[in-house]
Amino acid sequence: MENSGPKIEFPSSSWKDYELLDSGAGEKLERFGKYVLCRPEPKALWDKSLSEREWNALAHVRFRPGAGFGKAGKEDSGTWDKLKAMDEQWFIKYSGGPEFRLRLGLTAFKHVGVFPEQAPNWNFIYSNTSRLVRQAEGAPVRVLNLFAYTGAASLAAKAAGADVTHLDSVRQVVTWARGNMENSGMDGIRWVLEDAMKFARREARRGNTYQGIILDPPAYGHGPDGEKWKLDECLNEMMKCVGSILAPKDSFMVLNLYSNGFSPVLGETVTRQAFGLHDLGYDLTSGELCLRDSFGKVLPLSIFIRLVR
C-alpha cells in the first residue's frame, strides 16, 4: 500500500541535547548539548525572531564562509569565529528512540558531525530493525549503510541488534564513526572504505542481500580511488543496484536526499521504478525532514523515501 501524501517529520522533543533556537536571514542558531552554534542556512529565507545582539549573546561560535562560498565544491568551506570559550570537540547523547553518543567537532566545512533533522530516520531504522530481529528468532539481520558519514544511522541499527556494514569513501569520517560506536558502548560494526556504487555492484554480482539498506547520497562526491559521483546521473543506477541486494520480503530501505530541486514524489517514482514495485506487498512513504525553531518557524532540510516490505 502507499501513503496518501508526503509527510513532514521533526526530531522528538524528548531529545534534550539538540535545539534549533532561531532561524532566518540565511542562518540558523542551534544548541548542541552545552554549546550554541551559528551556521549559514540558505533555506532560512525569513527574518530572525531574535535580534543580532541576542544571537551574539547566545552563540559560542559562528561559522564565517570563505572566499569559495557559493561556488561548486567550495560552498561550505570557511572558518569558525569564537565568541565564547568552548571545546573543539564534545559529545552529545541521542535518546529519542535508540540511545547512543555522538562526538561533535568544528570542521572547515560547516558541519559538526551530525545532521539533527535525521532523527526521525534513526527512529524508523531502529524500530524496523528491532521488528526484523524479533521475527528472525536468532538468525542474523543484516543492515547496510551507504554514504554512512559519522554513523548515527549505523548506531541505530546496531542498537536494535543488527549485523551492520558501514560504508563511506572518506577515511576520516569512518574513523569518526568508529569512535562514536566505541563511545556508545557498542562493537561489531563492519567498516568499509570504498565507493558505494562499486560495493553495491559487487554485492549484487555475489548474490548477497540485506534486510535493511540505508542511503544518504551527496549531490557530488568522489570515491577513495577517484570515482566520481553525481546524484542526478547516478541515483537511478544506484537504486537499481540497491533493489537487487535488498531482501524481497521482511526488509526495509531508507533513502535521504538533500539535493535542491528533488521532491518526495521524485524520490518515490525513482524508487518504485528501480525496485520494480508493481504489486501491493509493500509500504512506500515519503516526506520532508524539518526542524522547528523555538518561535515555530519550520525549516525544511531534506526529503526521505522509506520502503517496507
Q: In the structure, what pLDDT confidence band is assigned to residue 222 with cuts at 50, 70 and 90?
A: confident
CA dist., res. 132 & res. 58, Å (int): 44
* Residue 110 lies inside a defined structural domain of this protein: no
Sign of CA pseudo-dihedral 126, 132, 137, 138: negative
* Residue 7 lies inside a defined structural domain of this protein: no
Answer yes or no: do 48 and 82 share one domain.
yes
pLDDT at position 151 over 80: yes
- What cell numbers appear for 45 in the block? 529565507
Q: In the structure, what pLDDT confidence band is assigned to residue 1 with cuts at 50, 70 and 90?
A: very low
CA dist., res. 84 & res. 3, Å (int): 47
Out of 50, 77, 105, a domain closes at: 105
CA dist., res. 301 & res. 102, Å (int): 20
* Residue 12 lies inside a defined structural domain of this protein: no
Answer yes or no: do 75 and 215 share one domain.
no
Q: Which pLDDT score is estimated for 278?
A: 74
- What cell numbers appear for 163 in the block? 549485523
> Which structural domain, as residue segments, surrounds residue 171?
115-308
Mean pLDDT, the chain, rounded, equals: 92
Please give the single-letter amino acid code of residue 59: A
Provide the pairing of β-strand 252-257 with 298-308: antiparallel
CA dist., res. 127 & res. 85, Å (int): 39
Answer yes or no: do 42 and 99 share one domain.
yes
User: What's the whole-number mean pLDDT along residues 150-159?
Assistant: 98
Which CATH number does the domain housing residue 266 bear?
A: 3.40.50.150
Sign of CA pseudo-dihedral 139, 145, 146, 150: negative
Q: Which pLDDT score is estimated for 5?
A: 58
Which of 86-90, 128-132, 273-277 shows the lowest per-residue confidence on average (mean pLDDT)? 273-277
Q: Which pLDDT score is estimated for 71?
A: 55
* Residue 163 lies inside a defined structural domain of this protein: yes
290's enclosing H/E stretch is strand 283-292
Which of 147-161, 194-208, 255-269 shows the lowest per-residue confidence on average (mean pLDDT)? 255-269
User: Model confidence over 12-66: pLDDT tens digits?
Assistant: 999 999 999 999 999 999 999 999 999 999 999 999 999 999 999 999 999 999 8
Which of 96-105, 207-216, 222-231, 296-305 shows the lowest per-residue confidence on average (mean pLDDT)? 222-231
User: What's the whole-number mean pLDDT along residues 285-307?
Assistant: 97
Q: In the structure, what pLDDT confidence band is assigned to residue 69 with cuts at 50, 70 and 90?
A: low
122 touches 156 (CB < 8 A): yes
113 touches 104 (CB < 8 A): yes
Answer yes or no: do 152 and 279 share one domain.
yes
Out of 80, 105, 130, a domain closes at: 105
Cβ neighbours of residue 150 closer than 8 Å, sequence gap 6 or more? 102, 103, 113, 114, 173, 176, 177, 180
Answer yes or no: do 144 and 58 share one domain.
no
Out of 71, 105, 139, a domain closes at: 105
CA dist., res. 263 & res. 258, Å (int): 10
DSSP letter for 173, please.
H
Share above pLDDT 70 across residues of the chain, in percent, rounded to a whole number: 94
49 touches 22 (CB < 8 A): yes
Answer yes or no: do 156 and 258 share one domain.
yes
DSSP letter for 2, please.
B
User: Model confidence over 104-124: pLDDT tens digits?
Assistant: 999 998 999 999 999 999 999
* Residue 2 lies inside a defined structural domain of this protein: no
Which of 30-44, 48-62, 73-87, 260-274 shows the lowest per-residue confidence on average (mean pLDDT)? 73-87
Answer yes or no: do 181 and 98 share one domain.
no
pLDDT at position 202 over 90: yes
pLDDT at position 228 over 90: no
- What cell numbers appear for 251 in the block? 526488509
Answer yes or no: do 189 and 123 share one domain.
yes
Answer yes or no: do 141 and 37 share one domain.
no
* Residue 13 lies inside a defined structural domain of this protein: no
CA distances from 299 to 39, 119, 199, 304 (A): 14, 15, 34, 15
CA dist., res. 258 & res. 239, Å (int): 16
Which CATH number does the domain housing residue 34 bear?
A: 2.60.40.1180
pLDDT at position 75 over 60: no
Number of domains in the chain: 2
User: What's the whole-number mean pLDDT along residues 121-146?
Assistant: 97
HSE value, Cβ hemisphere, 13 Å, CA-based, for 58: 18
Q: Which pLDDT score is estimated for 68?
A: 60
Give the total residue count for the chain.
Answer: 309
* Residue 186 lies inside a defined structural domain of this protein: yes
Answer yes or no: do 236 and 298 share one domain.
yes
Answer yes or no: do 190 and 121 share one domain.
yes
Share above pLDDT 90 across residues of the chain, in percent, rounded to a whole number: 82
* Residue 79 lies inside a defined structural domain of this protein: yes
Q: Which pLDDT score is estimated for 221?
A: 80
Answer yes or no: do 124 and 96 share one domain.
no
